[in-house]
Amino acid sequence: MCFSCSQLNKLEDISLRNCAVNGAGDKGGIARACPHIRKVDLSRNLLSSWDDVIDIADQLKDLEVLNLSENKLEFPSCSTSLIGTFSALKVLVLNRTGITWAEVLRCAPGWPVLEELYLGSNNICISERPVDVLQTVKLLDLSSNQLIDENQLFLIAYLPRLEQLILSNIGISSIHFPDAGIGCKTSLFPSLQYLVVNDNQISQWSFINELDKLQSLDTLSCVRNPLTAGSKDSQTTRQFIIARIGQLKTLDRCQILPEERRGAELDYRKAFGNEWKKAGGHQNPDKNRPNEEFLAAHPRYQFLCQKYGAPEDGELKTQQPFILKNQLLTLKIRYPDQLDQKVLEKQLPDSMTIQKVKGLLSRLLKVPVSQLLLSYESPKMPGREIELENDQQSLQFYSVENGDSLLVRW
């Protein structure tokens, strides 16, 4: 395809990925040919120096998005004046460029309005707190930098506008906000709303408890960690995370509806009720004094007792295994509108709520709970379909029996 000069002049978005680009070319040539470029993908090329990048950017005064991933760049060894070169740049991608944290801070004064910075797979070690730089950054991606630990993260914890932090595959296993006690909020990461900690070594609930201390956190992704991947019951794990982080609205890309939060918090309150009592918990508020060990392990438990009332003794009786076995239903899972989906057979307790069934199916089908519609058919009533419309009711409430079919639509 041949572009005329007038067409090039109108270009705003260009991708030159893997095109063997090694420099800016003729002086001023880019500015003459396509001066209005806003977005450039120069990933996986032959650029070897940050000076080459400057030569290109100097000619693109409207440049907002620049991807330099997989160029092995040599960065300046001392601070240089770059006023105006990246004056409009909002998104900068430097994955696999070999950049160090010191070099990031050295170049950062030249990015006065930068909002998104991607630094994945660079073996970065955060060695210094950003002062007067990166103050406009809203998203920071540090994925696959295995040298980063919690103490280094605290060096970036004061970035005032940081809303999204991506920490996938950095090997982190613990975090503790030293300025906030049980039930208190930390002053660190004041604007952080969105956190990704996938593919790490998180195996303790204390990590999740600490996240409740973040002032603004409402979205979390925590998949493929020992705590989540190692659990036999992913639905219970999800419920416990929801119950432990009070303001969370989205978990692992699935929205948390009010009814799911209520169910999760009630189940969590019940699951640890006996432990709470042994630790000094009591239905009488005047006698309710669980020990510090319990409060450290379950920081929100007292709040949940205030919200829903303390668990009664009748709720806390341990169900005998043989009773549960007698209440299991063997059901076929069918998808009337998705004929390519294989019919499954599942054993579910008849006491299981519709909400929990939807949660199970949501994870199985990768479909948000809010989109699932359930009904069932019984061989005893051929041709009749009964809607399971109340999420708080159980399968038993709707008289679902062994051999019935659950019908799932979305």
pLDDT of residue 319: 45
Residues 302, 212: one domain?
Answer: no
Range of the domain at 131: 5-262
Region 134-149: what's the mean pLDDT? 96
Say which amino acid occupies 286.
D
**Does position 147 have pLDDT exceeding 70, yes or no?**
yes
Q: Give 322-329's long-range contacts (Cβ < 8 A, gap of 24+).
A: 324/349, 327/351, 327/396, 329/395, 329/400, 329/401, 329/402, 329/404
Query: pLDDT confidence of 320, banded at 50, 70, 90?
Result: very low
On whether both 350 and 309 belong to a single domain, the answer is no
Rg of the chain over CA atoms, in angstroms?
A: 27
- Let me know the angle formed at the C-alpha of 65 by 115 and 43, rounded to the nearest 5 degrees: 120
250 and 386 in one domain?
Answer: no
Which residues, other chains included, contact 255 with Cβ-Cβ below 8 Å and sequence gap of 6+? Answer: 249, 368, 369, 370
How many domains, the chain? 3
Give me the chain's average pLDDT, please.
90
Same domain, 116 and 24: yes
Q: Do residue 345 and residue 232 come from a single domain?
A: no
Clarify whether residues 138 and 186 are in a common domain: yes
% of the chain beyond a pLDDT of 70:
93
Do 187 and 253 share a structural domain?
Answer: yes
| CB contact at 8 A, 135 and 105 | no
Q: Cβ(37)–Cβ(57) under 8 Å?
A: no
Residue 82 binned pLDDT confidence (cut-offs 50, 70, 90): low
Whose tokens are 């299981």? That residue is: 352
Q: Are residues 16 and 88 in the same domain?
A: yes
Residue range 180-229, pLDDT digits in tens: 999 999 999 999 999 999 999 999 999 999 999 999 999 999 999 999 87
* Percent with pLDDT over 90 in the chain: 67
Q: Tell me if 243 sits within 8 A of 300, measured CB to CB.
A: yes
Please state the rounded mean pLDDT for residues 50-65: 94
Question: What confidence score (pLDDT) does residue 173 get?
Answer: 94
Both 82 and 102 in one domain: the answer is yes
CATH number of the structural domain spanning residue 366: 3.10.20.90
Rounded-to-integer distance, Cα 135 and Cα 282, Å: 48
Note whether 247 and 371 are same-domain residues. Answer: no
Instruction: Look at residue 100 and tell me whether its pLDDT is greater than 90.
Output: yes
pLDDT value for 81: 57
Picking from 299, 316, 333, the residue at the C-terminal end of a domain is: 316
Same domain? 285 vs 218: no
Residue 350's pLDDT band, with cuts at 50, 70 and 90, is confident
Beta strands 194-196; 164-166: pairing state = parallel
- pLDDT for 324 equals 44
Please provide the size of the chain in residues: 410
Identify the weakest region by mean pLDDT among 1-10, 74-83, 378-387: 1-10
Q: Which CATH number is 246's domain given?
A: 3.80.10.10
- pLDDT computed for residue 104 by the predictor: 96
Of the two residues 53 and 396, the one the predictor is more confident about is 53
- Per-residue model confidence (pLDDT) at position 321: 44
Model pLDDT, residue 302: 95
pLDDT at 70: 97
pLDDT given at position 323: 42
Give the pLDDT confidence score for residue 85 in this predicted structure. Answer: 87
Q: Which of 79-93, 102-116, 147-161 has the lowest mean pLDDT?
A: 79-93
Beta strands 91-93 and 116-118 are: parallel
Residues 76 and 86 reside in one and the same domain: yes
Q: Give the CB-side neighbour count of residue 22, counting CA atoms within 13 A.
A: 2
Residue range 166-192: average pLDDT? 96
Local confidence band at 5 (pLDDT 50, 70, 90 cut-offs) = low
Evaluate if residue 374 carries a pLDDT over 90. Answer: yes
The CB density around residue 364, as the number of other CB atoms within 10 Å, is 13
